[in-house]
Structure 1
Amino acid sequence: MTIKSEIKKSILAALWFMFLTFPIMVIRVNTVENIVQWRWINMAFVGAGSFFFSMLWRYMIKQKSMKAKKEAIDKLSFVQKISQKKKIFIPLMILLGCFILAFPHLFSMYQTNIMISALIYVMLGLGLNIVIGLAGLLDLGYVAFFAVGAYSYALLNYHYGLIFWIALPLGGILALIFGVILGYPVLRLRGDYLAIVTLGFGEIIRLVLENWNDFSFGPSGIANIPKPPLFGVDLSLSGSIIYLYYIIVGLVIFTIFVINRLENSRIGRAWIALKDDEIACQAMGIDKAKTKLRAFGLGAMWAGMGGVIFAAKTTFINPASFTIWESVIILCTVVLGGMGSITGVISGALLLILLPEYLRAFAEFRMIIFGAVLVLMMVFRPGGIIKNVRKTYKFQKT
């Protein structure tokens, strides 16, 4: 395709965009003086900007196709290449570890609080990555298990006085049970049908929590949820935030370790086989029902523990915190970061949670910028920020 034809298409796109925005950008009615103002200079800016961005878009699409050909030859991503070079990888991990440990002492409490929220979503994204990224089961009701974990801590503490450290594993176990309960009815479903059923399950949990006043206190929610104790020592507000930060960092590291081990285990390979082809997976002797239930249960368990952390952080929860949009955001962290990729999911969660916060300076434009970033990522990196590359095993002759 010649440059002349590209310019012609960009001019047509600019003219069409000028026509669409004409009533908004050019005509302005002054109701005080009863006159109509014609702002033609705005039309010139719209035309020039549309032409420039159209040309840039076409150039980037062309570069993407050329890059795809190169990636077909060299499948390893930049992160995977770095991880194979121990002389670079180990010092980088040491520096990253030092930065993570020093983060609450280098930045304000507000920044630490935001980072705690981001790390909770990292944990949720890694849990959902088991269900979607590894097993290929589209779950749109994942926030239900998040709610189960949060309410389990709040209610167990309110009625029985259980502390955070006892409620943390209990919240995970209860969410795992709910994950298995959800898994049984949907064993024969996949694709869009599975997504609709899981979506309905998430809404059922939210509506039960909102309307069952005797059990969950309804829309009023539960307040005064205690923060994690430190050997009976009363911590200040800043001290409790720093302590909670280190707890979630430890849980994220534990989650990464466990999920990495699961991915490379017999169960993980069964999940990947199930994702690729259910019929072939079953023909190879893998129990499809057990494999799906394990994925739903283990994925839900991390959401439950994340819910306990969320309840301890906010000290107040109500059903409005667990809407379908939370499920969508968690799903976006997995898809945007890279399905099946642990590093990708972490980067996707950090980007999705931190970017809107740091764009608050742009006021009403921040969500437009945020949406534009998502669109660009899905067009130019459909595999995610760091897409997963399946490991290959070679037999060496001795």
Structure 2
Amino acid sequence: MSANTSVKSPSAAAKLRRTAWYQQPRFKRLGALVALAVLVTIVIGEQGNTRDLFYSVRTSFTGVKLWVCLGLAVVVWLVREFGSQHVSKAVEGARSTTKWAPLLQARDAMRVQPKVKWAVMTALLLAVVFVPGQLTGFWQTVLIDQIATYALLAIGLNVVIGWAGLLDLGFVAFFAVGAYSAAFWTGSLPVEPPVVLNNFLIIPVAVVTCLIAGVLLGAPTLRLRGDYLAIVTLGFHEIVYLVAKNADGITNGPAGARQVPKFSAFGYEWSLERMPYWYLLVAIIVVLIILFARLEHSRVGRAWTAIREDEVAAAANGVDTVRFKLMAFAIGASTSGIAGVFYASKVGYFNPENFIILNSILVLAYVIFGGMGSIPGVLLGAAILVWLPEVLREWVEPADRYMYLGALLVIMMIYRPQGVWPSRRRQREFKLAQEGVGDADAMTEPAGGAVR
């Protein structure tokens, strides 16, 4: 009996080690996509009523929307699981041919030769400056009031989350601080300022104010990490929001700030025309990109990376974690102050409802979607996710637009968690995590388990 058992034990052990087909990562991803399709169908379906509690579920599952969503989910799965291999082979084959040799040489030259890199960046900047002038008035408004403004916020939040690894769910609170600073110093609130300032002079004042607010938020939360830090920042946002909404004698309460003056300098005043605001925003964003790019590769940026990867190990190796975490909160908040001053001057009127918690979640989604730690990535993420709801305006109800954004984010997290345009460091981290060599900060182990 023992001999037969010993003979059969290797095959039995092999069967135990064998992974069932439904446990394979490929089919797990299919299950996640199918579940996502069902959830989206229910969310965008008919509204329920008190007379029939299951009306919404029943109508969602009997309509054509369910099959459309399931079909799209299966198509995404098939294309990504089976089509990506053929695309990768085709790309590699094209690279080996002489037809694509000039493009590859130009790409390598741009990476190695600074002159080629600056030429490409100059051409891109010229396109950013002059192409929006050819758009319609509606898209110019979307570009200035939403895309560019949220791009500023995403650049600041990228410092806090992408570089320092500090989860902040109340980032729009600093945006509100910057906007109310502009309203206060221009005399647009019930409280009279000591002196009325020009909007350009308000920018450094708002930056300092947001720096102080960032330090006040960061100082009590230095020992917190992860979910606990996120809850505290969420509470900070609610405090700012409720103060702005209820302090009638200071912020004018729900009525908000009215008739905030426009930007003016040297006798020229920014009026209702859109493009002067775009040129001003481009100048501000370019300056911030240059400064933050230098900051990323400085001693401060390396300290932030060490804190993000392992705060305990960073402190053990001499990194002053308290100081650098405070710097991350303060510097990230200062960018929101600039965005707040610009927004207040551009729209002329705002109220506390412009700074709800949903906006903080959206900015966080833009950073994650574009690629945490990557300045081009967060700019691209903000542009895509702000542009997409406006494109869906004619076909999708306003209440359902963010559901499609959520579905897109889930698909991104399944197939490309590093983002559309990740930083080189983060891309390397995810590659090592997939190989089982190391763990990226957003993953506990690679798909299928760690390799040992």
Out of 417, 420, 438, the position equivalent to 1:385 is 420
Is the contact between residue 61 and residue 380 of structure 1 (CA under 8 Å) also seen in structure 2? no
User: Judging changes above 3 Å, is the alpha-carbon distance between structure 1 residues 305 and 100 closer, same or farther for their aligned structure 2 residues?
Assistant: same
1:296 aligns with 2:323: no
Once residues 254 and 387 of structure 2 are traced to their aligned partners in structure 1, the CA distance between those partners, rounded to angstroms, is 28
Q: What is the aligned partner in structure 2 of residue 31 from structure 1?
A: none
Tell me the amino acid that sits aligned with residue 321 of structure 1: N
Is the contact between residue 263 and residue 270 of structure 2 (CA under 8 Å) also seen in structure 1? no
User: Judging changes above 3 Å, is the alpha-carbon distance between structure 1 residues 81 and 234 closer, same or farther for their aligned structure 2 residues?
Assistant: same
Q: What is the aligned partner in structure 2 of residue 245 from structure 1?
A: 278
1:316 aligns with 2:349: yes
Out of 168, 191, 196, the position equivalent to 1:161 is 196
Is the contact between residue 262 and residue 271 of structure 2 (CA under 8 Å) also seen in structure 1? no
Is the contact between residue 148 and residue 281 of structure 2 (CA under 8 Å) also seen in structure 1? yes
1:108 aligns with 2:136: yes
Once residues 317 and 145 of structure 1 are traced to their aligned partners in structure 2, the CA distance between those partners, rounded to angstroms, is 15
SS in 2 for 1:291: helix
Q: Percent identity?
A: 38
How far 1:380 moved relative to its partner? 1.7
How far 1:100 moved relative to its partner? 1.6
The count of residues paired between Structure 1 and Structure 2 equals 358
1:285 aligns with 2:324: no
Out of 266, 279, 287, the position equivalent to 1:254 is 287
Once residues 71 and 283 of structure 2 are traced to their aligned partners in structure 1, the CA distance between those partners, rounded to angstroms, is 50
Q: What is the aligned partner in structure 2 of residue 210 from structure 1?
A: 245
What do the CA deviations read for 1:5-32 (whole angstroms, capped 9, x no partner)? Answer: 999x99xx99xx99xx99x99xxxxxxx
How far 1:80 moved relative to its partner? 8.8
Q: Write out aligned runs for 1:361-380 (5 A).
A: 361-364=394-397, 366-380=401-415
Q: Write out aligned runs for 1:148-187 (5 A).
A: 148-158=177-187, 159=192, 160-187=195-222
Out of 57, 68, 78, the position equivalent to 2:77 is 57
Out of 114, 123, 127, the position equivalent to 1:99 is 127
How far 1:362 moved relative to its partner? 1.5
Tell me which of the two structures has the higher relative contact order, counting C-alpha pairs closer than 8 angstroms and 6 or more residues apart.
Answer: 1
Once residues 224 and 65 of structure 2 are traced to their aligned partners in structure 1, the CA distance between those partners, rounded to angstroms, is 52
Once residues 104 and 43 of structure 1 are traced to their aligned partners in structure 2, the CA distance between those partners, rounded to angstroms, is 41
Q: Write out aligned runs for 1:72-87 (5 A).
A: 83-84=110-111, 86=113
User: Judging changes above 3 Å, is the alpha-carbon distance between structure 1 residues 48 and 318 closer, same or farther for their aligned structure 2 residues?
Assistant: closer
1:338 aligns with 2:365: no
Once residues 391 and 308 of structure 2 are traced to their aligned partners in structure 1, the CA distance between those partners, rounded to angstroms, is 36
How far 1:263 moved relative to its partner? 0.6
Once residues 404 and 416 of structure 2 are traced to their aligned partners in structure 1, the CA distance between those partners, rounded to angstroms, is 17
User: Judging changes above 3 Å, is the alpha-carbon distance between structure 1 residues 189 and 82 closer, same or farther for their aligned structure 2 residues?
Assistant: farther
Tell me the amino acid that sits aligned with residue 413 of structure 2: M
Tell me the amino acid that sits aligned with residue 382 of structure 2: A
Once residues 216 and 160 of structure 2 are traced to their aligned partners in structure 1, the CA distance between those partners, rounded to angstroms, is 15
Once residues 80 and 205 of structure 1 are traced to their aligned partners in structure 2, the CA distance between those partners, rounded to angstroms, is 47
Once residues 67 and 387 of structure 1 are traced to their aligned partners in structure 2, the CA distance between those partners, rounded to angstroms, is 20
Q: CA RMSD in A?
A: 3.6
**Structure 1 unaligned spans of 5+:** 26-38, 69-77, 393-398
How far 1:104 moved relative to its partner? 4.2
Once residues 44 and 213 of structure 1 are traced to their aligned partners in structure 2, the CA distance between those partners, rounded to angstroms, is 50
How far 1:233 moved relative to its partner? 3.0
Once residues 88 and 327 of structure 1 are traced to their aligned partners in structure 2, the CA distance between those partners, rounded to angstroms, is 38
1:263 aligns with 2:296: yes
Once residues 349 and 167 of structure 1 are traced to their aligned partners in structure 2, the CA distance between those partners, rounded to angstroms, is 26
Q: What is the aligned partner in structure 2 of residue 358 from structure 1?
A: 391
Once residues 255 and 68 of structure 2 are traced to their aligned partners in structure 1, the CA distance between those partners, rounded to angstroms, is 53
How far 1:363 moved relative to its partner? 3.3
Is the contact between residue 175 and residue 337 of structure 2 (CA under 8 Å) also seen in structure 1? yes
Q: What is the aligned partner in structure 2 of residue 71 from structure 1?
A: none
What do the CA deviations read for 1:19-63 (whole angstroms, capped 9, x no partner)? Answer: xx99x99xxxxxxxxxxxxx9xx8799669746742651552456
Q: What is the aligned partner in structure 2 of residue 126 from structure 1?
A: 155
How far 1:108 moved relative to its partner? 2.8
Q: What is the aligned partner in structure 2 of residue 192 from structure 1?
A: 227
**Structure 2 unaligned spans of 5+:** 1-19, 46-58, 89-103, 429-452
Tell me the amino acid that sits aligned with residue 184 of structure 2: L
Once residues 199 and 84 of structure 2 are traced to their aligned partners in structure 1, the CA distance between those partners, rounded to angstroms, is 49
Is the contact between residue 163 and residue 305 of structure 2 (CA under 8 Å) also seen in structure 1? yes
Is the contact between residue 335 and residue 384 of structure 1 (CA under 8 Å) also seen in structure 2? yes
